A and B are shown apart, each in its own frame.
Chain A
Amino acid sequence: MYQDVIVTVEKRGNKAVVNLEGDITTFAEESITKAVQSALSDCKSIVLNFEGVEYINSSGIAILISLVTEMMKKGGKLLVANLTPHYQKIFKMVGLSQYTTVFNNLEEALAAQD
C-alpha cells in the first residue's frame, strides 16, 4: 500500500537537487541512498526536495539520519526543501533540524550560500 518512491537528481548551480516523490519508508532506503551518494560525488551541497512526499514514517526518519551521518563524514551539507509544516515539526522533534538546514521551498534552498 506504500507509494513507491521515485528519486531523480538534477544539478542546479553548485548544488545537487534530489527530488523525492512517494512514501519515505524502509522500502525507499536503497533508492534514496544511491541517489545521494551519486550526487555527493559531484556536489558537496545536496538539497533533498520533499515536494512530492506526503508520508514519512519512523523508518524514513531513520534513513534520513543515516544520510546526514554519511554526509557529515564526507564533508557534505544537507539542505531540505518543501517539507510540510508537520514534518518540519517532526524534524525539530527528533533533532534532524540541528544537522540540516530546512527551507520552505526549493528556490530558498537554492539561493542559500554554501
Chain B
Amino acid sequence: MKKIIELTLPSSLGCEKVAIASAASVGKKMGLSQDRIEDLKTAVGEACINAIEHGNKGKKDAQVVVVFKEEQEKLEISVKDQGPGVDPKAVETPSIDKKMKPGSKQRGWGVFLIKNLTDEVEFCSSKKGGEVKMIIKIQRDGE
C-alpha cells in the first residue's frame, strides 16, 4: 500500500524549506543514501520555488501542495500550484557561459536542477493548475 504525505504551503518564498525538511525525513525513512537525500531536498525546494514564483506568480492567497508517495521501489513527489504550468520545451537549458555575457540574466536554473537531480520528471497542467511530478528511485544505502 502506498504511503502518502501531503503538505499545503502558503505561496511565499521561504516556505519551500518546510517541504525540504519533510523531503529529508521521508528520504531518510525510505533508506535513501545521504547523497540522494540532498538531491531530493534541492529538487523539491526548486519545484516549490517555481510554483511560488512562476506558477502562483506571487499571489498571496494561492497555495502550493506537495505530495510524497512512498512506493516499494520509488518515491514520487508532486508539487502543484494554481498557475498555467510549465512547458518544458519552452524552458531553455541554461549555460553558464551565456549567463556570464553582458546583459544576460543569471537566474533560470531551477528546472535544470530538478531534471538533473531526479530520475524522472514530468510537467503537467490542467484547469486546476500546474504540476511537477518527480521520481527518485530507491537505491538504499549499501546497494
A111 within 8 A of B: no
Chain B: which residue is nearest A98 at the CB level? B96
- Which residues of chain B are near A65, meaning CB under 8 Å? 96, 99-100, 106
Bound-state Cα–Cα, A72 to B38, Å = 31
- Which residues of chain A are near B42, meaning CB under 8 Å? 57, 86, 90
**What distance in Å separates the Cβ of A7 from its nearest Cβ neighbour in chain B?**
19
Task: For the complex, count residues of B whose C-beta is within 8 A of A.
Answer: 29
**What distance in Å separates the Cβ of B100 from its nearest Cβ neighbour in chain A?**
5
B15 within 8 A of A: yes
Contact between B106 and A63 (Cβ–Cβ < 8 Å)?
Answer: yes
- For window 54-73 of A, CB contacts with B under 8 Å fall at 55, 57-59, 61-63, 65-66, 68-69, 72
**What distance in Å separates the Cβ of A84 from its nearest Cβ neighbour in chain B?**
8
Bound-state Cα–Cα, A61 to B117, Å = 15
Task: Compute the total of residue contacts between A and B using a CB distance below 8 Å.
Answer: 69
B123 within 8 A of A: no
Residue of B14, B46, B95, B96 touching A96 (CB-CB under 8 A): B96
Task: For the complex, count residues of A whose C-beta is within 8 A of B.
Answer: 26
Chain B: which residue is nearest A65 at the CB level? B106
Contact between B15 and A1 (Cβ–Cβ < 8 Å)?
Answer: yes
B97 within 8 A of A: yes
- For window 1-54 of B, CB contacts with A under 8 Å fall at 13-18, 20, 35, 38-39, 42, 45-46, 49
**What distance in Å separates the Cβ of B141 from its nearest Cβ neighbour in chain A?**
15
Contact between B13 and A95 (Cβ–Cβ < 8 Å)?
Answer: no
- Which residues of chain A are near B17, meaning CB under 8 Å? 1-2, 55
- Residue ranges of A at the interface with B (Cβ–Cβ < 8 Å): 1-2, 25-26, 55, 57-59, 61-63, 65-66, 68-69, 72, 84-86, 90, 93-96, 98-99
**What are 27 A-B interface contacts by the 8 Å CB criterion?**
A1-B14, A25-B13, A55-B17, A55-B20, A55-B45, A57-B16, A57-B42, A57-B46, A58-B49, A58-B108, A58-B109, A58-B110, A58-B113, A62-B99, A62-B106, A62-B107, A62-B108, A65-B96, A65-B100, A66-B106, A72-B100, A84-B38, A93-B113, A94-B96, A94-B112, A99-B96, A99-B100
